[in-house]
């Protein structure tokens, strides 16, 4: 199990020599064992969920829960898909796309304003955003609920989009501002002397240069909106407006005894993220940790 | 062409983002303070109540219960998650092929929403058809979520399952930043693996330990989704953490005034923790880490 480590250690990578190359080449057996134990902790529940979702109702309660089903059945997936899953998926897509687009657009402008602007507004808004990082969403839900009902937005997708943007803005601005700060000042100055407006500089200089940062921060924001549970729980109620996490919760209430169906819903709701992970793992991982660490 | 635009006007570009943030985050925050002084059932008219809610909430044993549970989960989560994340971070930062493969699998929990995690574990932990039914795993057949003495530890485990991968990512990235020359020098000096870990890796990870711990501690005030779906605060009040206590007071017992008091307690605790942690561990260091994003 640990044998391949010695081989890998010889690869001409900076860390390879640090890990085990050079003097000793003993594989770190303890670490290997620990690594596989943790793998079991992670994979067993996931395997159980997937395998159970492929059982029929009768096959579910008897036998070894980890043994593959006698015959794989997709009937539960069909049931979930017929229960409005497409609709919920679409709702999730809509709120995520709209929230992230508006957040990133507004935040890019704000980040530019914070970095390039002079005067009190630019300075205070930066501190305000910094403070915003410390506001817990949960503490604001009751007043948010009040505001949203008074605005007659209760039970609408807009009710989910607006606070999602509000809470995504601070971290997005701070990350983008850090990025824009690294753009050489001379580039801005020469464009300014050529008569470029703020919009011109944003569009033709900042946007192309900041594209990687925009992708990263966009993914970070999207993950939060996509998986968000609290706003839908508090600010919507109709079945039509369920987003995926809400739909899961509702399925669980409706199909209490039909555990395979509930687990099929869990699998289906995770598939989009899994596809994203397979297609763009690096981007996703970078997006996840955007804003923390280096 | 006109004269170059004044840079004072560039500051105006912050306005749309600022407006959204103030309207949907800052104003509600202030709103919580105001609502904590009122009586409101969530539907009808709002009436002035003064400090009555505060007196009631502070005398309510449920509040003490919620605070104690929150403190417990904060401490236990940190104690459980930090060593695992750190070791896994170091492990996955290694260049061995099998470690890279494991790392890809380790991060799968991050793809699941909190609701999905909670529902999955409800099934996994079921004493009748969960993993306890696997031959050899009979010891897992317990009423995990129904036993008030067990349930808090189950919640701590599920939360660790969900969040360790994220912290592992932080540590993995940080370990990869450690200059290889430090290890080379230690190799020449004949320092063993454990020594290298203690004298090079750990000190080099200091800032990441601070960042990760701060996120864990402040984050533990906001464990809501998973617990809400997994236990709903029960059995009894065994997992009624502070945010859950607030939700149930507001939206189940329809007492928004008292719930707002709990919301304010939540904010104040969070801010106090964030500030004291950053102060105690050196604010300048946090700043420099933030600026190096």
Q: What's the pLDDT at A25?
A: 56
Q: Residue A35's pLDDT band (boundaries 50, 70, 90)? A: very high
Q: Residue A65's pLDDT band (boundaries 50, 70, 90)? A: confident
- Smallest Cβ–Cβ distance between B13 and the set A112, A266, A293 belongs to A112
Helix axes B151-177, B97-106, angle to 10 degrees: 140
Give me the phi and psi of A293, to 5 degrees please: 60, -165
Residue with tokens 């912290």, as numbered in its chain: B167
CB-based contact A262 B274, cutoff 8 Å = no
Q: What's the pLDDT at B121?
A: 95
Residues in chain B within 8 Å Cβ distance of A119 = 7-8, 11
Chain B CB within 8 Å of residue A42 CB: yes
Distance to chain A for B58, nearest Cα, Å: 17
Distance to chain B for A24, nearest Cα, Å: 8
Chain A CB within 8 Å of residue B285 CB: no
Structure-token pair, residue B71 = 């403190």
Length, in residues, of chain B: 293
C-alpha separations of B209 from B40, B59, B76, B87, B215 in Å: 43, 37, 16, 12, 10
Chain A CB within 8 Å of residue B91 CB: yes
Residue A291: pLDDT over 80 = no
Q: Distance between CA atoms of B199 and B186, rounded to whole angstroms?
A: 9
Domains and CATH numbers, chain A: 3-53 (no CATH), 77-288 (1.10.3720.10)
Q: Distance between CA atoms of B165 and A223, rounded to whole angstroms?
A: 15
Q: How many CA atoms lie within 13 A of A246 on its CB side?
A: 27
Q: Distance between CA atoms of B84 and B10, rounded to whole angstroms?
A: 47
pLDDT digits 0-9 by tens, B235-271: 999 999 999 999 999 999 999 999 999 999 999 998 8
Domains and CATH numbers, chain B: 48-291 (1.10.3720.10)
Q: What's the pLDDT at B24?
A: 93
Q: What percent of chain A has pLDDT over 70?
A: 88
C-alpha separations of A136 from A85, B218, B221, B267 in Å: 30, 9, 8, 7
Q: Distance between CA atoms of B117 and B74, rounded to whole angstroms?
A: 19
Which range, of B99-103, B140-144, B169-173, averages the lowest pLDDT? B140-144
Residue A10: pLDDT over 60 = no
Is the pLDDT higher at B123 or at A7?
Answer: B123
CB-based contact A121 B11, cutoff 8 Å = yes
Q: Distance between CA atoms of B211 and B190, rounded to whole angstroms?
A: 32
pLDDT digits 0-9 by tens, A137-169: 889 999 999 999 999 999 999 999 999 999 999
| Of the ranges A59-68, B43-52, B69-78, B216-225, the best mean pLDDT one | B69-78
Q: What's the pLDDT at A55?
A: 84
| A109 within 8 A of B14, measured Cβ to Cβ | yes
Using only the alpha carbons of chain A, give its radius of gyration: 25
Q: Distance between CA atoms of A63 and A287, rounded to whole angstroms?
A: 42
Residues in chain B within 8 Å Cβ distance of A192 = 4-5
Residue B31: pLDDT over 80 = yes
Q: Residue B282's pLDDT band (boundaries 50, 70, 90)? A: low
Q: What's the pLDDT at A4?
A: 40
Q: What's the pLDDT at A1?
A: 35
* In chain B, residues 183-222 whose CB comes closer than 8 Å to chain A: 183-184, 187-188, 190, 193, 208, 211-212, 215, 218, 221-222
pLDDT digits 0-9 by tens, A162-176: 999 999 999 899 889
Q: What's the pLDDT at A14?
A: 43
CB-based contact A109 B166, cutoff 8 Å = no
Is the pLDDT higher at A169 or at A284?
Answer: A169
Q: What's the pLDDT at B2?
A: 46
Residue range B59-77: mean pLDDT, rounded: 95
pLDDT digits 0-9 by tens, A173-201: 988 998 898 889 899 888 988 888 888 89
Distance to chain B for A39, nearest Cα, Å: 7
Residue range A201-212: mean pLDDT, rounded: 90
Structure-token pair, residue B214 = 């701060």
Cα A220 to chain centroid, rounded = 5
CB-based contact A19 B215, cutoff 8 Å = no
Give me the phi and psi of A30, to 5 degrees please: -55, -45
Q: What percent of chain A has pLDDT over 90?
A: 42
| B61 within 8 A of B265, measured Cβ to Cβ | no
What mean pLDDT, rounded, does chain B reach? 88
Give me the phi and psi of B193, to 5 degrees please: -60, -45
Element (H, E) at A243: none
Distance to chain B for A151, nearest Cα, Å: 12
Strand locations in B126-193, DSSP E?
none
Q: What's the pLDDT at A136?
A: 85
ipTM above 0.90, yes or no: no
């Amino acid at each position: 199990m640990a044998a391949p480590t010695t081989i890998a250690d010889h690869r001409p990578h900076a860390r390879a020599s640090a890990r085990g190359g050079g003097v000793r080449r003993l594989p770190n057996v303890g670490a290997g064992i620990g690594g596989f134990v943790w793998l079991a902790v992670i994979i067993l529940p996931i395997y159980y969920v997937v395998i159970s979702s492929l059982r029929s109702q009768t096959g579910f309660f008897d036998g070894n829960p980890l043994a593959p089903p006698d015959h794989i059945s997709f009937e539960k997936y069909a049931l979930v898909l017929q229960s409005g899953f497409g609709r919920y998926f679409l709702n999730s897509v809509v709120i995520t796309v709209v929230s992230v687009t508006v957040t990133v657009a507004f935040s890019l402008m704000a980040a530019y304003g914070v970095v390039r602007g002079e005067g009190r507004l630019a300075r205070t808004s930066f501190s305000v955003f910094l403070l915003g990082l410390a506001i817990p969403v949960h503490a604001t839900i009751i007043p948010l609920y009040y505001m949203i009902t008074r605005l007659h937005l209760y039970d609408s997708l807009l009710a989910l989009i607006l606070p999602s943007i509000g809470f995504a803005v601070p971290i997005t601005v701070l990350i983008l501002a850090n990025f824009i700060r690294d753009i050489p000042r001379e580039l801005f100055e020469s464009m300014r002397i050529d008569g470029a407006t703020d919009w011109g500089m944003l569009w033709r200089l900042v946007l192309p240069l900041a594209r990687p940062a925009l992708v990263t921060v966009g993914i970070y924001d999207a993950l939060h909106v996509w998986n968000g549970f609290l706003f839908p729980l508090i600010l919507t109620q109709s079945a039509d407006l369920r987003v995926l996490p809400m739909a899961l919760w509702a399925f669980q209430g409706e199909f209490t005894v039909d555990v395979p169906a509930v687990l099929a819903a869990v699998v289906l709701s995770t598939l989009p993220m899994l596809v994203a992970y397979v297609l763009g793992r690096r981007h996703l991982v970078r997006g996840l940790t955007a804003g923390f660490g280096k | 062409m006109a004269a170059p635009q004044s840079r004072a006007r560039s500051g105006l570009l912050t306005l749309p983002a600022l407006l959204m943030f103030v309207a949907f985050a800052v104003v509600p925050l202030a709103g919580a303070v105001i609502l904590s002084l009122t009586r409101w059932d969530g539907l009808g008219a709002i009436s002035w109540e003064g400090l009555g809610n505060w007196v009631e909430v502070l005398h309510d044993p449920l509040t003490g219960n919620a605070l104690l549970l929150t403190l417990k989960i904060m401490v236990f989560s940190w104690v459980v998650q930090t060593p695992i994340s750190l070791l896994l971070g170091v492990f996955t930062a290694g260049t061995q092929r099998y470690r890279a493969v494991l790392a890809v699998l380790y991060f799968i929990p991050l793809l699941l929403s909190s609701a999905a995690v909670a529902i999955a574990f409800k099934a996994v932990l079921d004493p009748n058809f969960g993993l306890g039914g696997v031959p050899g795993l009979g010891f897992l057949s317990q009423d995990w979520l129904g036993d008030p003495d067990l349930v808090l530890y189950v919640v701590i485990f599920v939360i660790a399952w969900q969040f360790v991968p994220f912290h592992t990512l932080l540590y993995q990235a940080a370990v990869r930043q450690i200059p290889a020359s430090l290890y080379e020098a230690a190799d020449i000096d004949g320092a063993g693996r454990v020594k290298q870990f203690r004298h090079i890796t750990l000190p080099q990870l200091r800032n990441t330990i601070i960042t990760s711990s701060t996120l864990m501690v402040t984050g533990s005030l906001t464990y809501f989704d998973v617990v809400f779906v997994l236990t709903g605060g029960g059995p009894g009040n065994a997992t009624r953490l502070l945010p859950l206590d607030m939700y149930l007071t507001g939206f189940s017992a329809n007492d928004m005034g008292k719930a707002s008091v709990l919301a304010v307690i939540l904010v104040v605790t969070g801010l106090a923790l964030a500030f004291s942690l950053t102060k105690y561990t050196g604010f300048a260091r946090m700043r420099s880490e933030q600026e190096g994003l």
